[in-house]
Amino acid sequence: MPFRKTIDEFNFSIQPTIDERRIRELMTLSFLKEHENPIFLGSPGIGKTHLAVSIGLQAIFQGYKTYFVSAHDLIIQLRKADTDGKLELKLRSFVKPRLLIIDEMGYMKLDIGDAHYLFQVIARRYEKGSIILTSNKSFGEWGEMVGNPVIATAILDRLLHHSRIFNLNGESYRQLEK
């Protein structure tokens, strides 16, 4: 995890669009049994990563294998593995954990090869393991983000089939702390 933040440290009063009851229900980890994908959408600084890390720490505490990676690092790792002839092995490392957290989807535009890497991870985890995804992009922007609307549709089709979507709005925590 990039940092240790618990759900008790999250200030729900600053983010009124977040349904605390729904988040607390995620903390039970029942979504893992159903291979559901919690997805946190919203602008930077509003707590998406904090929530993902809190749930990830709870999963680790409960004994579930959990892996956290930024979307950028996921792509970099897969590119390198492909260059080194170890793509299959690296893909398996992203499929193996019970919970995969992909953070900051949308901060970088993907080229067609990168989009295929992302599709492989999502497709291989489909109905086998949960993904928590954070993004600053709406689903309508994914075609442009991944550089190909067909691949974006294929990714979203699998990701959204069993998902719990949380649209977050509000002030940036970082700006409020200033």
Q: What is the pLDDT of residues 77-128, one digit of tens each?
A: 999 999 999 999 999 999 999 999 999 999 889 999 999 999 999 999 999 9
Confidence grade of residue 134 (pLDDT, cut at 50, 70, 90): very high
pLDDT at 173: 67
pLDDT at 24: 97
Beta bridge partners of residue 103, listed in sequence order: 70
Which of 144, 141, 151, 142 shows the shortest CA–CA distance to 113? 151
152, pLDDT greater than 70: yes
pLDDT at 154: 98
Which of 153, 129, 130 shows the shortest CA–CA distance to 143? 153
The structure tokens listed for 96 are: 């193996």
pLDDT at 2: 82
The secondary structure of residue 7, as a DSSP letter, is G
- How many CB atoms are located within 10 Å of the residue 69 CB? 19
